[in-house]
Amino acid sequence: MPTNSSGKPPNVLCQSDFSDITLPALNPVPGMISASEQRFLFHMTRDFCADRGAVVEVGTWLGKSTTALAAGLAARNARQKLHCYDRYCWKAFHSEIADLDLRPGDDFQPAFERFLAPYRDRMRVTKTDLSEIVWKGGPIELLVLDAPKKASTLRNTLEIFGPALIPGITKIVFQDYLYFPSYELAACLARLPSLDRTTVVLDGMSVAFDVVAPVANIDSDDGLWRPESWTAHEIHIAWRQILEPLEPSARVLLAAGLPWHLYDAGHVAEAVKLMHDTAWVPSQHEQFARLAKSRIYTDYRPLFQAVGLTSAWDHELRARWRAGRRWLSQLFTSRSRSQRAA
Ligand SMILES: C[S@@+](CC[C@H](N)C(=O)[O-])C[C@H]1O[C@@H](n2cnc3c(N)ncnc32)[C@H](O)[C@@H]1O
């Protein structure tokens, strides 16, 4: 059987927007996931889960994803509990998405619990940082992750929950897998032999994996967890395997992960050339333009500049530099005039 770079046999990938799944009437909750992702999560707890372990979610925010998971459990009258973890600490940008009376630093667990009130008896909620989680709840049937976005936090998450993940049973959903600034998820998972990518949620950012072997000894391949140390060759092999099987609409979302990865691994000229030479589609340009207004811009300035994007900050710097040059030349001219007069 042919294998890919991690030695895994290629699998059949389901790519769907799950429009055949009808959601029941759900409490409207502000959130960061799409309608197709809500349908997928509901489908997972109603139709895939079968009380073979716990359902665990890390990164609930106000509970848009949690509501879908809980509704699926309720629809099946499941016995299994939904364990929710989040640090429930309000950030300034959260107010751009949800108009609640909360300020940066506030505890938003009470707001989360109000939104989830109809399902309260099905849930166990823990306010904690991901790194502090101690899992003692036995086997996990479904693990939904929307907090780890980097190699280090992904590794930490798998160390915490690894022993409870059951090969042949557990599924793991990675929200933001297709969001290219979180490319470290896709890169590391491509090299992890115990997980197999099986579902891509179209019109969303989520991708699900099956656990196919014990998630143990994840430390044995140390390079795996340091994607910034990969050679350009290793990066290209991984990204071919990541991108090629994806439907075009999903590939468009994740494709810039390759130049981002090359850049972080120090292959700067290649990353810049790739950004410059690629025929990005309008939706990708729009995403780059949005990101150029955020803090990400300063970390990846040459990549943004390669697609013709400068930020307000660059304009400000350039204006200050020009003003400084004008001031110096005026100073110089007035000095030489006064020297000549003397
Ligand atoms: C993208 S939001 C989740 C969105 C949510 N799933 C929805 O449906 O709208 C990410 C959440 O992860 C939480 N989070 C991020 N890093 C965390 C960490 N290290 N420990 C605990 N929670 C974390 C944040 O507080 C936030 O609520």
pLDDT on residue 166: 97
- For ligand 1, the distance from its centroid to the CA atom of residue 67, given in whole angstroms, is 15
Neighbours of 7 (CB within 10 A): 8
Contacts with 306 (C-beta within 8 Å, 6 or more apart), sequence order: 272, 273, 275, 276
Q: Give the integer Cα–Cα distance in Å for 80 and 141.
A: 9
**CA dist 195 to 84, 152, 212, 214, 225, Å?**
22, 17, 6, 9, 15
- Ligand 1 proximity of 61 Cβ (cutoff 6 Å): yes
pLDDT on residue 10: 55
- Ligand 1 proximity of 162 Cβ (cutoff 6 Å): no
pLDDT on residue 256: 98
Placement of tokens 């008896």 in the chain? 121
- Ligand 1 proximity of 32 Cβ (cutoff 6 Å): yes
Neighbours of 6 (CB within 10 A): 18
Closest CA to 49 of 112, 141, 126: 141
Q: Give the integer Cα–Cα distance in Å for 272 and 277.
A: 9
- For ligand 1, the distance from its centroid to the CA atom of residue 237, given in whole angstroms, is 31
Which of 61, 85, 125 has most ligand 1 atoms within 8 Å of its beta carbon, as the pocket-test mutant? Answer: 61
**Cβ-count burial of 340 within 10 angstroms (0-12 exposed, 13-18 middle, 19+ buried)?**
exposed
Which of 27, 41, 60, 185 has most ligand 1 atoms within 8 Å of its beta carbon, as the pocket-test mutant? Answer: 60
Residues 6-31: pLDDT tens digits?
455 556 899 999 999 999 999 899 99
In the structure encoding, which two tokens stand for residue 47, read together? 């139709």
Atom of ligand 1 nearest to the CA of 153: 19
- For ligand 1, the distance from its centroid to the CA atom of residue 317, given in whole angstroms, is 34
- Ligand 1 proximity of 37 Cβ (cutoff 6 Å): no
Strands 207-211 and 195-201: antiparallel
Placement of tokens 């609640």 in the chain? 100
Placement of tokens 């889960």 in the chain? 49
In the structure encoding, which two tokens stand for residue 216, read together? 């143990």
- Ligand 1 proximity of 206 Cβ (cutoff 6 Å): no
- For ligand 1, the distance from its centroid to the CA atom of residue 200, given in whole angstroms, is 21
CATH tag for 14-225 (out of 2.40.50.140, 3.40.50.150, 3.20.20.70, 3.60.15.10): 3.40.50.150
In the structure encoding, which two tokens stand for residue 189, read together? 């998972």
**Cβ-count burial of 281 within 10 angstroms (0-12 exposed, 13-18 middle, 19+ buried)?**
exposed
Residues 295-307: pLDDT tens digits?
899 999 999 999 9
pLDDT along the chain (342 residues), means of 10: 46 93 95 97 98 98 98 98 98 96 97 97 98 97 98 96 97 98 97 96 98 84 89 97 98 98 98 98 97 92 94 63 70 67 62
- For ligand 1, the distance from its centroid to the CA atom of residue 89, given in whole angstroms, is 9
Name residue 207's beta-bridge partners.
174, 200
Q: Under a CB-based contact definition with an 8 Å cutoff, are residues 139 and 162 in contact? A: no
The string of DSSP letters for 105-171 reads: T-B-HHHHHHHTGGGGGGEEEEE--GGG----S--EEEEEESS--SHHHHHHHHHHHGGGB-TTT-E
89: DSSP letter: B
pLDDT on residue 333: 67
- Ligand 1 proximity of 98 Cβ (cutoff 6 Å): no
pLDDT on residue 197: 98
- For ligand 1, the distance from its centroid to the CA atom of residue 145, given in whole angstroms, is 9
The protein residue whose alpha carbon is closest to atom 19 in ligand 1 is 130
**Domain residue spans of the chain:** 14-225, 228-310
Residues 111-133: pLDDT tens digits?
999 999 999 999 999 999 999 99
Q: Which helix (H) or strand (E) holds 236?
A: helix 232-243
Q: Contacts for 283-290 with beta carbons within 8 Å, 24 or more apart?
A: 283/252, 284/252, 284/255, 284/256, 287/256, 288/256
Name residue 83's beta-bridge partners.
56, 124
Which of 58, 67, 86 has most ligand 1 atoms within 8 Å of its beta carbon, as the pocket-test mutant? Answer: 86
